[in-house]
Structures are given as structure tokens and as C-alpha cells.
Amino acid sequence: MAGAAWYPIAASHDLPLRHVFHGQRLGREFAVWRADDGFVNIWENRCLHRGVRLSIGINDGRELRCQYHGWRYSNRTAGCTYIPAHPADAPARTITIRSFPVAERYGLIWSSLVAAGEGPAIAVLDGEKALVLRGIAVNAPAKLAIEHLKNYRFQPLGAVADNAAATALTDCNDLSVTLRSRQDEAETLAVFFVQPVDANRCVIRGVLDADPAGKERIAVFHHHNERLSALRDEIERESATQTAPQPIEPVYEPVAPELAEIPPLAPAGRSAALNVRVARKWPAAHDIAGFELRALRGHLPTFQPGAHIDVHLPNGLVRQYSITNAPGETGSYMIGVKSEVPSRGGSQCLHETVREGDVLAISEPRNNFPLRRDAVRTIFVAGGIGITPLLAMAQALHHSNLVYELHYFARSQEALAFPDRLATLGDHLDTHLDLSPAATEERIRALLSNYRPRMHVYVCGPAPMLDATRRIASELSWPESQVHFEYFKNTHAIDDSSRFEVALARSVVTLEVPPGKTILQVLRESGISIPSSCEQGACGTCLATVLDGEPDHQDVYLSDEEKRSGAKIITCVSRAKSARLVLDL
Amino acid sequence: MNAASKCTDAVILNLWHVIGDVSEMQAGIVYQTVLLEERLSFAIDAEGAPVAWRSLPPGKSGEAFDPGRVSGKLPTVSAYGCVWACLGQPSADIFPIPEYAEAKRRNVNAGTIGVSVSAPRAIENFLDMGHFPYVHTDVLGAEPYTEVKEYDVEISADRDEIVATRCRFFQPKSSVASTEGSDIEYVYRVPHPYCSVLYKTSHVDESRLDVIGIFAQPIDQEHIRAHMMLCLVDEDSNDTAIRHFQQMIFGQDKPILENQFRKRLPLDPRAETPIRADKSSVAYRRWLSQKGVTYGVIPAAS
């Protein structure tokens, strides 16, 4: 029925900069807001957490923040990107507000209950000009308003001050009334859309096929304001003589079952869930290619700063790349790929083979390098291509006016990736060019020398630089929990010669891990699905909880403190020192 | 409201409910209020004892109290500066707040605020720390200090009540003397489906706890009058300043509560999305479910 059709939900002029408009149709409420990139979001007007209206939330231009607990939801995807009560965690679950199709046309914002193609087509308004009148709210059923609008009389443009026009009804349906007014040479067509707000409430949104300027425009507004207000009084007088229909009970859909419980383990293996097109490939710096990846259809999933995707390459390899986007930039993912010499085959393939227009398979974004936003100061230390996750993080803090500094170590000015993005960070960015390893260490020591409680440092870059930064932070008494790092790869030689048993506490299964095989492989062979990504002990996706036994850590993901505690294990490389390991799987 | 929609929840009917603040009453005068959709009259008699009865016909506030003309008296008591009544058979005494009787404490009734929300939504908000930086900005919390650290929740072994302990939250300017913020400790009790009591480090004496109670008077399923009771170690501030502070805090919560939908607290776990910080609210919802409370909530489909 009407579900497939487009209907107006607001006027474009209801969405001034950074406003959240409270829309309503048939008892159901919507939070309608325009992001700074122009995209209009039409969302269910309820935060999934505690049901507070999102229309009282804050539109920061990229994300909508709930007033109650500060949960952030991203432009376009409506996915939750940050839960301030748990700053160390990436929102583990797919918490996404229900959003509705949107089209902006004829000066109105249109929506639909289902995806309904290109948007509304109102042939009589398809000319260049459209003037949207002020919406007139009426306390009466929409049907009654439609009836009265058929007899609405108005003056055409050019004869507004007169009173001798003939108005003819040219079209009418459940949604709108179309009228043409004529006086001599002057002629104006008007479509009046009636938006049923509730059973006994509606809004009349008039659109004229004219676009006068200056005084004439104001005269037209006055003319219709006056006549529509009179019409409203007439409709409401008649409505008052009838029995008011019961308000429509709004629909409250239950949240997805996986959101209802406190937290499950993330499912899914190393999957290529999405197909994307390379929309743009460009030199992001000397030796670094930028790739912009767009969904073939629909929206890409929500990402958080620090997240990476697996890219499945035409040559069969799978590589991880961090998303560099700023918050709310959800139309595409931007990644940077360094040309490695010698390449293990991934960077070479992307640099040489993959072109604009090619289709690639990628995984959903995964965030094993989450950004806390509760630091009094955040220091980012990037080396070379290690800038990519930190660029996304820096832009997120920058946009929220949080205190941070980004230190970018590179060989030369030309080697600095994404210069246009870096420029948006202003004097938060400090570049350190062409330093020797010793000079780099000295500089890092200076950067980390003023430790205060609640400061956090994030470092990403080549392994020697990461190792040095971690060592220096430790020497300068930074708590390990406040030093966050992401290695590109695990450069340690993996010793897979041991033999041990793995007992799975939840599945009540015991498996043997022989030399030459990893825990992850043995689990997979037994049909137990664990998510994984880099499969070399760097990204942390295949993390499992250890209940008993002593792990033999061989990864570069866990901190030393985490390794000492023995409570977690990276199953793609690490093994057991004890004869038996009990995992919470 | 027609008669059929009045409260039929036996658990709620047999509880004591707050109906007025003693500090705002004069002896011998009749006051009017609404409890669970019933119009009530109440007064303090010549001996200082509270009396409450169903208003028939509806009377006006301010009439002189005439004990001879009152029929159908309800069970009524005075506790924590408030008058409490029961529309059914009270099954127990009012929950204890031992600190109220302690020497060297200030007991202040901080006022009553009408809120268009169900009583359980108001209680759940009272138990919640995560909103401090956003709703009580620069008073009870401030960005970027938004973390809700792990805490413990249990149903008390001695009494039928929820107790949340080891709750800590960063508060800017936590005491008059300090300029830096620090973590403040809280203990929360929910001893009654519509009442909660919190204990919080005193800003005067860090070894003692201030006590703040919220008693929600259910007007109907979606409207309350929230009565606030303070029992403080503070001997310096005047009552007016204390009241103003508390009313400012609650005034910040009110618009949030009134924009919460649905207004009744949904007990179905799939109605909303809990996180670890919501352990106490998860326990509270479960506790209401187990008690079989139906008034002011949307029971889980069985």
C-alpha cells in the first residue's frame, strides 16, 4: 500500500545548519538532520540505548550525539561509533538506528517506508522553479484537509494583490491537491501536500511552480499565509464537530536479539562480506597510493577510528588496511597503500594491477585498535604509512575539540601521505622529517617526557620505531595501559614446533595442536568459527580468553602486561608452554 | 481516566507510597493529591499524626481538617519527612534508612517535582552514572571523563533490595576545597520499586557518606511527583542552598526523562540495548519482573 510511495516528511528549509528536526508521520516520529556533507538522514526518533528522542540530540555535522549518554551515531550509516561509558571498547555490536530512504526534491524532504527507487516524481513541478510555502499545522485528520484544499482559492504570481483569479482543481489524491490559478496572463500552479502527522493532526506543505524574488516573494508568502490560516480555521471548526479519532499507537520495533544481551563474542571468520568499486586511485604521497572504495549499492558499514578492513586482492592475497576517513565520512572508505620493496605481493598488486573502476572484495571494518576519547591529552606517533589509523583518530578528536597532538615521522616532505587531510589538523600536526634512528628516539623521548595521569599515546609505524616508543614510554613511567600500538606485521620468527592440547570450555571439546599447525587452524578444521584477519599475530582479531594453562605468546598485538597475565591469547600464532590450554570458547 | 484503568497491580497496591512532604504542611489543614489514579485527601491531626483517605467527593486543598467527617481512612504513616499511604494492605514496614536518625546530620526535604514519566524510568535514571557528564555537565561529571568503571550489583542477602557497590565516577570540583576533580564513590540501594537511596562521599568529611533519597509518587502509569530527601553531613550550607542545588540537578534530568519513549519501563530485554555500565538497571528490570510488577512498566511478553 502507501508504504512503497514517497511522502514529504519536512521541508528543506526545516533543516538549517546542524539542526535536528522532529518529524512525524502517522504517529511515528523521525529525527531528520542534514550532515555537513549535505546528506539528509531520516532516523527513527529513539536512541537504541534508553529510548531518548534523538531529535533533542546534537548534530555535530558528521555524527548525531544522544543527549543522555553521549552515544554517537554516524551520518548515513546510522551506526553507533562510540559509547563514552566504555571508552576503551570499540562498540562490539552492530548498534544501528533504523533509518529510512530519503530524497530531496521540490524543496521538500521525502521519505518512504521501503526503498522505493529514485524518489518522487511530480511532473507538474519538474520545471526549474519551486517555491515552498511555510508548513501549516492543522488539528484535523489529513482527509478533511484534502477535502477543504480542493476549494482553496489563491491569486497567481503577478496578480497577488488582486482578487479576481479563477482557481481550478487539476489533480487530487490521498497525498496532495493540485490547483491552477489564472487571472488574465498571470498563472500559477500549486501542489499542496498533506502530511498526516497523527490520526487527528496534519501539516499542509504547499509548493508553487514559481520562484519570485524580493518583495514579490514576500507578498506571495503573505498571501498564502493569510489564506491558508483562514483555511486552517475552517478545517478545525469542522473537525471540532466530529469525534476525534484515537491517536495512532506508534510502532516500537524490538532491538535485534544480539543487542539485548550484554556482550557476546564477535562471530564471523576471515570473510569478504562486501564488494566495493575503486572509485578513485591517486598518489597520496611519494610511494603511497590512495584508494577510495565505494559500495556497489547501498551504504558501507559503520567504521570507527582505528578500524581496518581486509582487502581480498585479485592475486588471492588478503591484506589489512586502516580506514583513514574522518567521522561521518561514510560514503566511501579511504585507504593508503605503500609500495613495499620487496613486496610480499599485496602492495605490488594494488599499485600495479588494481585500477579505478575495479571491483574488490573486502571484509566489514573491524576495530582492534580502538581510540579512547577520555584522555586529558592524546599523543599520536606515526611513522611512515603508520599514519593511516592515526589520521582517522586525529580527525575524530579534532572534530570533537579534544586535546591531541599528531607527530608524523617521515623521510621527506614528499613522503607525507594525504597532505590535504593533514592540512585540516592545523597546528596539532608536527612533522619530523629525515631523522636518523637515534635522532628519532631522542625526539620521541622528548615528546613523551611530560607524562601526566590520564594521558594516552597511540603509536603506529615500522617495528623498530614501535619497539623504541614502547621502551621509552616504559622508561618514562607511562603505565602500559596508556600506551596503545598497532604493528603492521609480526616480524618475529614463529616457533611452531610444540605439541599441546586445547580444551574448549564452552564447547566441551579437547583438540590436539600438532607441530606445524596453529590453534586457529585446528579449531577451523573442527568446524569452530573464530574471526581472524591478518593471521600473523599483528591485528588481534582472533583473540581468545584463556581460562587455564600457560600461553606461549608469539604475537605483537598484546601488551607485555597482557602477556604476563596470561589471560588472553592470539590464536593464529601463539601456542602453549603447558601441556594443556583451556580456552573460553 | 476511567475507573477501569486504575491500578490493579497487587504488588504496587500493597506498598507504602509517598504522598506529601511534612515540611510543606500545616497541622489541621486538608491537602489533596493523586496516588495511582485515586484522588486522596490527607492531613496532620492535632496530635501530629498523618491521616489520609480517598476524597469523596473530591475536595479542595486548604479546608480545615475535621476528623469526624473522615471515613475510610487509609493506612498512613510519617517517615523521612514525608507522609506515606497505602491503598491496599501494607505487607511490610517502610524500608529502613538508618542514617536518617543519626546524630550530627542534616535532614532536608529538597522538594517535589512533577515529571511526565513512569516511576521506574525515574528510578532507573537515578541509578545511572553514565549520564553525569552529558546531563549534569561540570557538576556531577564532565567530558572527557566519561568512563563507568566496573561495579558490583546484587540483591541484598538480608533484605529484598538491590544494592550496587564499588560505583565510582569522576566528578569535577568534587569538594569545596579542591580545584581538581576526583573519583567519587557511590552506593545505590533500591529498596522499593519506586524508591531509591544513594550514598555518596561527603564533600565535607571524606570518611562519611551523604544520603540522598528519591521517592516517586505514582500519579498514574506515566506521571510522577518525585520527592527528594537529603540526609547530609554538611553543617555549613543553608537549607535553601541545598534545596536549590538538588532542584537544579533534578531539573536537568526532567527534560531527558520526558523525552524518553516509551514512558513506561520496558522489561523485555529486547526493548533496549544495555551495556556493561547498565548492570544495575538490568538487575532492577529483572527484579521488577520477578516481583510481578505490572504498573508503570511494560511487562516482558511471556
State the CATH number of the domain containing residue A472: 3.40.50.80
- As a three-state string, the secondary structure of A518-544 is CHHHHHHHCCCCCCCCCCCCCCCCCEE
The closest of B200, B177, B75, B191 to B123, measured between CA atoms, is B191
Q: Both A505 and A469 in a single domain?
A: no
Q: Mark yes or no for CB contact B275/A49 under 8 Å.
A: yes
Note whether residue A261 is domain-resident. no
Q: CB of A181 within 8 A of CB of A154?
A: yes
ipTM, two decimals, is: 0.94
Band of pLDDT at residue B3, cut at 50, 70 and 90: very low
Structural domain for A17, as ranges: 1-114
Chain A: give the shortest CA distance to residue B54, in Å.
31
- Residues A444 and A529 grouped into a single domain: no
Q: Which of A230, A241, A228, A223 is nearest to A140 (CA)?
A: A241
- Reference A114, options A222, A6, A19; nearest CA is A6
Q: Hey, are the CB atoms on A252 and B262 less than 8 Å from each other?
A: yes
Contact B269 A260 (CB under 8 A): yes
Between chain A and chain B, the number of residue pairs with CB atoms below 8 A apart is 103
Question: Where do we find the cell 574522518?
Answer: A326
Q: Please give the pLDDT value at position B174.
A: 63
For residues B1-10, give the mean pLDDT: 69
Q: What is the pLDDT of residue A93?
A: 59
First to last CA, chain A: 47
At A268, the pLDDT band (50, 70, 90 cuts) reads very low
How close are the terminal C-alpha atoms of chain B, in Å?
A: 27
What pLDDT score was predicted for residue A92?
64
Instruction: Tell me which chain B residues have a C-beta less than 8 angstroms from the C-beta of A20.
Output: none
Question: Residue A309 and residue A541: Cα distance in Å, rounded?
Answer: 11
Examine the pLDDT at A441 and tell me if it is beyond 90.
yes
Residues of A in contact with B172 (CB under 8 A): none
* Residue B114 β-bridge partners: B225
Please give the pLDDT value at position A438: 96
Q: What is the mean pLDDT of residues A503-510?
A: 86
B181 falls in which pLDDT band (50, 70, 90)? confident
Is the pLDDT confidence value at A264 over 50? no
CA A420 from chain center: how many Å? Answer: 21
pLDDT band at B177 (very low <50, low <70, confident <90, very high): low
Do residues A13 and A88 both lie within one domain? yes
- pLDDT above 60: residue A357: yes
Indicate whether A294 and A184 sit together in one domain.
Answer: no
pLDDT of residue A119: 82
Same domain, A482 and A525: no
Q: Cα distance from B109 to chain A (closest Cα, Å)?
A: 27
> In DSSP terms, which residues pair with A320 in a beta bridge?
A310
Q: How far does A73 lie from chain B, in Å, by closest CA?
A: 14
A372 versus B1: which is more confidently predicted?
A372
- Tell me how far apart the alpha carbons of residues A24 and B31 are, in angstroms, rounded to a whole number: 41
- Residue in chain A nearest B150 by alpha carbon: A86
Does residue A261 have a pLDDT over 90?
no
In this prediction, residue A198 carries a pLDDT of: 95
- Residues of chain A that touch chain B, judged by Cβ-Cβ distance less than 8 Å: 29, 45-46, 48-53, 56, 67-70, 83-88, 93, 95, 250, 252, 254-257, 259-263, 373-376, 402
d(CA B33, CA B217) in angstroms, rounded, equals 10
What percentage of chain B carries pLDDT values higher than 90? 74
Q: Which of A32-41, A442-451, B268-277 has the lowest mean pLDDT?
A: B268-277
Relative to beta strand A429-433, strand A404-410 is parallel
Cα dihedral sign, B237-B112-B13-B119:
negative
Q: Tell if the CB–CB gap between B256 and A67 is shorter than 8 Å.
A: yes
Output the 3-class SS for chain B.
CCHHHCCCCHHHHCCCEEEEEHHHCCCCECEEEEECCEEEEEEECCCCCEEEEECCCCCCCCCECCHHHCCCEECEEEECCEEEECCCCCCCCCCCCHHHHCCCCEEEEEEEEEECCCHHHHHHHHCCCCCHHHHCECCCECCCCCCCCCCEEEECCCCCCEEEEEEEEEECCCCCCCCCCEEEEEEEEEEECCEEEEEEECCCCCCCEEEEEEEEEEEECCEEEEEEEEEECCCCCCHHHHHHHHHHHHHHHHHHHHCECCCCEECCHHHCCCCHHHHHHHHHHHHHHHHCCCCCEECCCC
Between A100 and A343, name the one with better pLDDT: A100
CATH of residue A543's domain is 3.10.20.30
Confidence (pLDDT) at B2: 43
* Sheet with B76-79, edge to edge strand ranges: B17-21, B82-85, B76-79
Same domain, A238 and A279: no
Between B207 and A376, the higher pLDDT residue: A376
Q: What is the CATH number of the domain that holds A343?
A: 2.40.30.10
- Domain assignment present for A258: no
| Mean pLDDT (whole number) for A4-12 | 89
Question: Of A241-245, A332-336, A528-532, B239-243, which range is least confident?
Answer: A528-532
Contact A56 B255 (CB under 8 A): yes
Residue B179: pLDDT above 90?
Answer: no
Lowest mean pLDDT among A292-306, A447-461, B53-67, B241-255: B53-67
Q: Could you tell me whether strands A455-461 and A483-487 are parallel, antiparallel, or unpaired per DSSP bridges?
A: parallel
Q: How confident is the model at residue A511 (pLDDT cuts 50, 70, 90)?
A: very high
Q: For B46-78, how does the pLDDT look when each residue is reduced to its tens digit (9 = 90+)?
A: 999 999 999 877 667 778 888 888 888 999 999
Mark whether A163 and A199 lie in a shared domain.
yes
Flag whether A30 is in a domain.
Answer: yes
Using pLDDT thresholds of 50, 70 and 90, give the confidence band for residue A533: confident
**All three cell numbers of A450:** 611530560
Q: What is the mean pLDDT of chain B?
A: 91
Distance in angstroms (rounded) separating the CA atoms of residues A456 and A440? 20
Q: With cut-offs at 50, 70 and 90, classify the pLDDT of residue A94.
A: confident
Q: What is the pLDDT of residues A117-148, one digit of tens each?
A: 778 888 888 887 899 999 999 999 999 999 99
Question: Could you tell me if A97 and A11 lie in one domain?
Answer: yes
Q: Beta A543-548 vs A580-583: how paired, if at all?
A: antiparallel
At A500 the three-state DSSP class reads strand
CA dist A79 and B102 (Å) reads: 51
Do A109 and A167 lie in one domain? The reply is: no
Choose the closest CB to A50 out of B270, B272, B282: B272
Of A455, A487, A519, the residue that ends a domain is: A487
Does residue B292 surpass a pLDDT of 70?
A: yes
**Exposure of A116 by Cβ count < 10 A (0-12 exposed, 13-18 middle, 19+ buried)?**
middle
Q: A391-411: string of b/e by CB count within 10 Å (b at 16+)?
A: bbbbbbbbbbebebbbbbbbe
Residue A254, domain member (yes or no): no
Q: pLDDT band for A22, please (50, 70, 90 cuts).
A: very high
Confidence class for position A318, pLDDT limits 50, 70, 90: confident
User: A350 pLDDT exceeds 70?
Assistant: yes
| CATH assignment of the domain containing A132 | 3.30.530.20
The pLDDT of residue A1 is above 50: no
Helix (H) or strand (E) holding A426: none
Percent of chain A with pLDDT over 70: 96
In the block, residue with C-alpha cell 528536526: A21
Domain assignment present for A528: yes
What average pLDDT does the segment A217-222 reach? 96
Residue A279's pLDDT is what? 96
* Chain B hits for A52, Cβ within 8 Å: 256, 259-261
Q: What are phi and psi of A147, to 5 degrees?
A: -55, -45
Tell me whether residues B144 and A69 touch, CB distance under 8 A: no
Average pLDDT over residues A484-497: 90
Lowest mean pLDDT among A393-402, A481-490, B126-135: A481-490
Mean of the pLDDT values across residues A542-548? 91
Let me know: does A420 contact A342? Beta carbons within 8 Å: no
A370 inside domain = no
Residue B176 binned pLDDT confidence (cut-offs 50, 70, 90): low
Instruction: Name the pLDDT band for A266 (thresholds 50, 70, 90).
Output: very low
**pLDDT for the residue B207:** 83
Single residue among A336, A362, A388 that ends a domain in this structure: A362
Domains of chain B from N-terminus onward: 3-85 (2.20.25.680), 98-293 (3.90.380.10)
**Quick one: A150 and A174 in the same domain?**
yes
Per-residue buried b or exposed e for B133-163, using 16+ beta carbons within 10 Å of the residue's own CB:
bbbbeebbbbbbbbbbeebebeeeeeeebbb
Q: For B257, which residue in chain A has the nearest alpha carbon?
A: A52
A262 domain-assigned: no
Instruction: Report the gap between the CA of A377 and the closest CA in chain B (Å).
Output: 10
* Helix or strand holding residue A355 (H, E): none
Place of cell 569522576: B170
CB contact under 8 Å between A262 and B273, yes or no, is no
Task: For chain A, give the mean pLDDT.
Answer: 91
Domain count, chain A: 5
CA–CA distance, A399 with A391 (Å, rounded to integer): 12
pLDDT tens-digit profile of B200-213?
A: 988 777 788 999 99
Q: Which residues pair with A382 in a beta bridge?
A: A408, A460
C-alpha cell at A290: 590512495
Same domain, A479 and A506: no
Are A105 and A147 part of one and the same domain?
no
Q: Give domain status of residue A260, yes or no.
A: no
Among candidates B133, B261, B276 on the partner chain, residue whose Cβ is nearest the Cβ of A70: B133
Contacts of A374 in chain B (CB under 8 A): 143-147
Predicted confidence (pLDDT) at residue A265 exceeds the cutoff of 70: no
